A and B are shown apart, each in its own frame.
Chain A
């Protein structure tokens, strides 16, 4: 079972470069999320999507863009990377809470992508 897969797992960028993180899930989940994890700050939501073709801003959206052209994929883009974007990025997916039997809103996470911006 693949679950949630993130690529790449590691990346080093120079300031001003662009890149895209890809998240793929095979559980037919409606919701997908991008979080960043920084020491002492827990996980902060960057952007999320409640379905194919829709996206919304989270707590810390500045400097990031997202797209959800297919239900199973959620892309996170950095147009012009900055050192403040050095972080570990986690993608997650979930059913709509309560919609399905056992659909409690539990999130399933990918293994993370470590990004360093020099």
Chain B
């Protein structure tokens, strides 16, 4: 069975700091990978996705993620965070035509 690990449960950064949130997965075959964001009081929204091709994926609001197959990782990055990035971030894995599995999430707090 597949699994997703997000080791950072809560990250606190100052505005303009660089961000990297870790995501590791366990699955032996071809996968689709996603990062979702949940702003306070809102539903989950897709931040970016990896389906195939270029392992460096760019998403909305200046976020990017790199798929490293050899490390089973799909870390999320942003060079300079803003207060409005305060949210919970979920990494998710979906093997082809199977169910989506979420990590437990990382709460990001940005201090102005």
Contacts and interface: CB of A to CB of B under 8 A. Distances in A.
Interface in A44-90: 44-45, 48, 58, 90
B70 interface: no
A97 B94 contact: yes
A42 B96 contact: no
16 contacts: A35-B102, A40-B9, A41-B104, A42-B102, A42-B103, A43-B90, A44-B102, A45-B101, A90-B44, A94-B100, A104-B32, A106-B34, A106-B46, A106-B49, A107-B92, A109-B43
Interface string B31-52: 0101000000011111001010
| Interface SS of A by simple majority | loop
A96 B104 contact: no
Nearest to A111: B43
Interface residues of A, number: 24
Given A90-B43, A97-B32, A43 B9 contact: no
A99 to B, nearest CB: 9
Contacts of A42: 90, 102-105
Interface string A13-44: 00000000000000000000101000011111
A90 B44 CA distance: 9
Contact of A112 (B9, B43, B92, B102): B43
A6 to B, nearest CB: 9
Contact of A105 (B100, B102, B103, B104): B100
A41 B90 CA distance: 11
Contacts of A45: 99-101
A82 to B, nearest CB: 23
B47 to A, nearest CB: 11
A40 B104 contact: yes
Given A41-B104, A42-B90, 18 more contacts: A33-B99, A35-B102, A40-B104, A43-B90, A45-B100, A48-B99, A92-B44, A98-B96, A98-B97, A104-B32, A104-B51, A105-B94, A105-B96, A105-B97, A107-B34, A109-B45, A111-B42, A111-B43
